[in-house]
Chains A and B, each alone.
Chain A
Amino acid sequence: MDGVAAARAGRNYEDDGDERSLILAAQGDPAAFGMLYTRYLDRIYSFLRVRTTSEEDAADLTQQVFTQALAALPRYKLGEAPFSAWLFRIAHNLASNYYRQRRTTLSWNLLLEKMHPADYRAPDEGVLLQEELTLLRGLTAGLASEKQELLALRFSAGLTSREISHVVNKSEASVQKQLTRILNDLRASYKERN
């Protein structure tokens, strides 16, 4: 099961003894890092793809995340923060630098493509009408950068509120509350426009 699938299946790596041993192994031998990146590669890329404006940039940043992670891994302390949060913290920092340099936060095109009804394999299961998707896309894209990032961490990276709290240096309750508020705001705007 890959990282995305595992996250979506509700598997929580932070309590995963297997992951602990993987981390310990990788700290001693970088060659053992392979299993860890296999778990997180798609999630990191997915998160960065939403935070960048091109596939190339997302790919570059993804490589940088793992380069930095490998270099910093000996300093990672088990038990201080979930490994996922530690890794996404690196991705978050790189994305923030990217944002500062490029002043862009979200690839509109990406959502446009992915939210195209033709992309859905099961169109009979509650697919939003195209107009609604267009509206939602506009509402999401108009959010503040920090809010977009929270959505990206939750929906693209597949992180739990607790993991996100470590990434953005806020409490779990605060993250949860903020996400709920963002979604409720989206719903209110959605209803208003609709």
Chain B
Amino acid sequence: MRREVDVRREYADILGENPDPDLVRIVGALDAANSSRRAPAHVVAAVSALARKQPAHAFAAKADEHPPLQAAPQTLGDGRSGMFGLSRRLTLGGGLLAAVASVVLLIMASLYLLGRDDSGGVQEPIIIESDALMIASTAEERVAGADAIILGTVGEAYDSRWTTPSGKASDVYAASANGHIIYTDYPVKVDRVLHGSDVGETVRVRLTGGQVGEVGMMSSAEAELEPGQRVLLLLRHDDNPQTRDIGPKHYGINFASNGVYKVEGDTATSPSHTIRLTELPAFITKAEKQAAAAGPAGTPVPGKPVAGTAVVVGTVVAREPVVAGTAAVGPVGTRTFVLEPARQFGIVVGRRLKVVDLERGGVGEKSGVRIGDVLTEIDGTPLDPTLSFPGLRTVFHRATRRAVGRGAPAVLTVTRGVALIRIDIMPEIPRFRPEQPTPTAVPRDQLYI
């Protein structure tokens, strides 16, 4: 942050003479928050190429330079705009498709704040969006973990509500900071119960996200329901501590967006699985037998540590999640469920991006990263050593998505002594594996990526 005297001098035209000290502090903070951004290296290169009149393909972002090694990525999710018009596409590469699927437990939240229209008084919604990575699972695992499986037709949504006692929130920041989220209930008229007992003619299905007044909340991996759509739903009793005790009996969707199958004719299709309705009973039986044979299910159990994952629960406005020793594992929630360590890279970094530890046998170690290396670039994007951990986590999650999407490794550049080393590294999407030990939570001044 610059000295007060410099701030006063540079912004004299808008600060005036003898400005209020608070005003100077605010201007100083705005100045500090906005002054250090540099164009990424690939933009510099692209614009340089432009000036040299190089061909258009030179402008492709560096991340796109890796040709896909496998078939074109499959899109998870239907690829259309989300409930607030933001794209919700998430792609996973062919290499993981066999295992693809998903629970979510994810990771970091981003807030997109939309402005208000000054003149007309029409307020644009504030969007609170959480970004999610999928954990791999099979269709059998998802089916076996469901408390109820139904065929039915989605009705019109009830009004979305906050989890506050009043269902509303006058101060979105305070509500978020206190862990409140928005949820939306849908009635689903049940045509057929394929699994589960005590399922009535209509079930109430609760999804995290929705819009209350000018505030919208969404999770990129949460399921979507369309009124009028015939669906096959994998339901679970709501075990999200934020929503389970609110209102009438209801269910959540098991495994988020992958727990919703759209039914057209005799075919049910989820983002990652297609099956004929006639084959469903046999498939459910097979899945249950497999789950029984496998022993403890890989499905997360609320409130208990889950092997391979230690989960940090933060809030949408938390800048540094509180590292929890035990897992608060639950369904996807718009409240930021942070999977910690995200460990797609198996690298623990300290301040200034120095590698302080490596997951034994993890992809980082296998790919050649060494303790003491300093991370400098990922996929051509320079890493700012002053980047906060949430920011760094975001950068690496995006790299994971890109790498998995194209089925080719991310390119990590590190400095080792005086050497600059490029390391191809294929991030690993974690799976629930009961046999794996729970990773040790890292100290607050380190980040497990």
Contact = CB atoms under 8 A, between A and B. Distances in A.
Interface of A: 4, 8, 10, 30-31, 33-34, 37, 41-42, 44-46, 49-50, 53, 55-56, 59-60, 62-63, 66-67, 70, 102-109, 111-116, 118-122, 125-128, 130, 132-134, 136, 138, 140-148, 151-152, 154-156, 158, 160-161, 176, 179-180, 183-184, 186-187, 190-191
A139 B42 CA distance: 33
A119 B39 contact: no
Nearest to A59: B43
A126 B118 contact: no
A155 B31 contact: yes
A46 B126 CA distance: 23
B51 A41 contact: no
Given A62-B47, A109-B111, A184 B23 contact: yes
B38 interface: yes
Contacts of B390: 109, 112-113, 116
A101 to B, nearest CB: 9
A140 B30 contact: yes
A118 B40 CA distance: 21
Interface stretch (B14-22, B237-245, B328-336): B14-22
B391 A113 contact: yes
Interface residues of B, number: 66
B406 to A, nearest CB: 14
Interface string B116-132: 11100000101100000
Contact of B33 (A10, A53, A114): A114
8 contacts: A42-B39, A62-B39, A114-B34, A116-B391, A119-B36, A126-B3, A147-B118, A179-B14
B394 interface: yes
A62 to B, nearest CB: 5
Interface in B12-56: 13-16, 20, 22-23, 25-40, 42-44, 46-48, 50-53
Contact of B34 (A50, A102, A147, A186): A50
A34 to B, nearest CB: 4
A115 B33 contact: yes
Contacts of B48: 34, 37
Interface in B35-79: 35-40, 42-44, 46-48, 50-53, 59, 61
Contacts of B46: 63
A46 B40 CA distance: 10
Interface string B309-331: 00000000101000000000000
A111 B33 contact: yes
Nearest to A138: B173
Contacts of A128: 25, 29
A180 B20 CA distance: 12
A132 B124 CA distance: 25
Given A46-B37, A109-B110, A125 B23 contact: no
Contacts of B16: 180
Nearest to B124: A103
The main secondary structure of chain A at its interface with chain B is: helix
B35 A148 contact: no
Interface stretch (B89-97, B154-162, B268-276, B380-388): B380-388
B115 interface: yes
A116 to B, nearest CB: 4
Nearest to B85: A103
Nearest to A161: B13
A34 B27 contact: no
Given A62-B39, A108-B111, A138-B173, A151 B30 contact: yes
A16 B10 CA distance: 19
Given A49-B37, A128-B29, A136-B26, A154 B14 contact: yes
Interface string B406-424: 0000000000000000000
B98 interface: no
Contact of A115 (B29, B40, B47, B118): B29
A46 B53 CA distance: 24
A34 B52 CA distance: 8
Given A112-B319, A112-B390, A114-B33, A142 B113 contact: yes
A66 B47 contact: yes
A52 B391 CA distance: 16
A190 B22 contact: yes
B99 interface: no
B1 interface: yes
A141 B113 contact: yes
B52 A31 contact: yes
**Residue from B31, B43, B116 whose CB has the most chain A CB atoms within 10 Å:** B43
B86 interface: yes
Contacts of A60: 61
Contacts of A111: 33
B4 A183 contact: no
Nearest to A160: B13
Contacts of B14: 154, 161, 176, 179-180, 183
Contacts of B22: 187, 190-191
Given A42-B37, A125-B3, A161-B14, A37 B52 contact: no
Contacts of B42: 59
B233 to A, nearest CB: 30
A112 B315 CA distance: 13
A104 B112 contact: yes
A189 B20 CA distance: 14
Given A103-B114, A119-B388, A125-B1, A45 B39 contact: yes
A180 B118 CA distance: 17
Contacts of A146: 115, 118
B50 A67 contact: yes
